[in-house]
Structure 1
Amino acid sequence: MKKIGLALLAVVVLASCEKKETVADANVHITGDVKGLSQGKLYLQKIEDTVAVLIDSIIISGDSRFESHIKLDSPEILYLSLDRGQTNSIDNSLPFFAEPGNIKIETTLKHFFADAKITGSKNHDLWMEYKEIGNRFNDENLILMEKRLKNELKPNQTVTDSIETAYQKLLKRKYRYTAHFAATHGDAVVAPYLALSEIADINMSYLDTIQKSLKPDVAKSKYGKIFTKYVKDRKAAEKK
């Protein structure tokens, strides 16, 4: 099984225009605190047609707390990015699952991503719940990668076959876990998002099960519509 890279997750270029919602238009209220940040700028972005679009920018001057009001048609992944100025740090981007309502983001300047605590989003909570188990699969994969590298120094076909068998079993476990998680959370937009981002090339029967589990409002969401189209297009392609 080969993981499909999805355009909806690819940050290709930052759009130059900035669109800021007024408080009256907004249905998402984001508040937060970047402890240790006294001067700087925060950017709030989302992905539209493979492009990272800037939807808000926040200047930090003296007070590490920040606030943003935006409008979303349905829950989706947003990115809070920190402009550190002249630095080589890669810990500058914080993805989170935003949804209408009040969302709170607390983190630190030193560990912008690692220290982040996000509350107020059901979809984000579910995403983190999924990742907690998903990280275990990643850890097991790293162990297999280390074994593969060691085996390449002194190739042994029996060891090679053993590693490949273990990898395929691990991949199947991850795919089945993801499919089950998505199918049992059809009332949340995280379900079609995970189906698209993690297991898009899984057996069609699993995708059908996930699609049937989606509640009407989830199916009409941004990721729900993309998922529905993807399933339709893949079925058409497999018939050829």
Structure 2
Amino acid sequence: MKKTIIAFAAILLVIACSKKESTDGLHITGNIKGLKKGTLYIQRIVDTSLVVIDSIKMDGNSAFETTIKLDSPEMLYLFLDRGVTNSLDNNILFFAEPGNINIDTNLDNYIAGAKITGSKNQELYEQYQKINSRFIDENLSMVEPRFKAIKRQDQKALDSLTAKEESNIKRKYLYATNFALNNKDYEIAPYIALSQIYDINVKFLDTIEKSMSPKVAKSLYGKKLTKYVADIKKQQEAVPATPAAASAQE
């Protein structure tokens, strides 16, 4: 009886350890339709450079699977080395978080065709990108009119386009700020602040930083945002901003 109890306790311990490992790690599964051969590289940004943290050889099977250590939600890249071409369409950006995530795509539309499931932060990031792309498209739509206005030396048209561009940028920054504040319980909030509106007036970044939940504040991007805001404040205290510089950040 005693041996049975000990054995049962040992089984429970193994189960508990496996659950802990699956919680702390990132289990990635996926399929790249049409891929026969190549290598997948999972990358992260370290000091502004992409660093490989795992690789998967693909040979005859388009499905893939791997597990990596991931302590905090983080933007990662799934880079495909096709072996035969240097296609620009080869790096999928995805917001990974501990647990299970699945990435399905195809060889012809590797990035555009990607469907990523299993990550709440990824879901929120896609929502953000859907609206943010409208601001990007609006700016692009003004490139040709600006070129033509410069060519015919039409200052009135140039001033009008400049005003529209500035208005578009303000709306873009306002949307990013509100999105971060509305999603303060997720790591997407400090990520948006750091990657999209890092050059906005520090008072907005400070508001986002202070709104983060305790869990998010302890995350990778939460800590980075806290440090970034503190560094900006320290710089501003050392060198007071001129009225012109202060208004330019608003």
TM-score (norm 1): 0.88
Distance 1:150 1:71 in 2: 52
Distance 1:88 1:50 in 2: 22
Quote the offset at 1:215 in angstroms: 0.6
Quote the offset at 1:27 in angstroms: 1.4
1:3 maps to which residue?
Answer: none
Pairing partner for 1:81 from 79, 82, 93: 79
Distance 2:224 2:80 in 1: 29
Pairing partner for 1:204 from 202, 205, 213: 202
- Contact kept, 8 Å, 1:42 with 1:81, in 2: the verdict is yes
The amino acid across from 1:53 in the alignment is: V
Quote the offset at 1:24 in angstroms: 5.2
- Aligned pairs for 1:117-196 within 5 A: 117-196=115-194
The amino acid across from 1:42 in the alignment is: L
TM-score (norm 2): 0.84
Partner of 1:212, secondary structure, is helix
The Cα offsets for residues 196-217 of structure 1, whole Å up to 9 and x where unpaired, read as 1110111222112111110111
Structure 1 unaligned residues grouped into runs of 5+: 1-22
Higher-Rg structure is 2
Q: Which has the higher helix share?
A: 2
- Aligned Cα root-mean-square deviation (Å): 1.4
Structure 2 unaligned residues grouped into runs of 5+: 1-19, 240-250
Quote the offset at 1:182 in angstroms: 0.3
Partner of 1:210, secondary structure, is helix
Aligned residue pair count? 218
1:95 maps to which residue?
Answer: 93
Quote the offset at 1:146 in angstroms: 1.9
Distance 2:43 2:233 in 1: 33
2:61 maps to which residue?
Answer: 63
Identity of aligned residues (%): 53
2:247 maps to which residue?
Answer: none
Structure 1 stretches of at least 4 aligned residues deviating more than 4 Å after TM superposition? 23-26
- Contact kept, 8 Å, 1:184 with 1:213, in 2: the verdict is no
2:6 maps to which residue?
Answer: none
Distance 2:35 2:115 in 1: 16
Partner of 2:153, secondary structure, is coil
Distance 1:41 1:144 in 2: 40
The amino acid across from 1:120 in the alignment is: G
Distance 1:133 1:165 in 2: 21
Pairing partner for 1:107 from 105, 108, 111: 105
The amino acid across from 1:94 in the alignment is: I
Distance 2:100 2:86 in 1: 33
Between the two structures, name the one with larger relative contact order (CA 8 Å, sep ≥ 6). Answer: 1
Distance 1:24 1:72 in 2: 10
Is 1:234 aligned to residue 232 of structure 2? yes
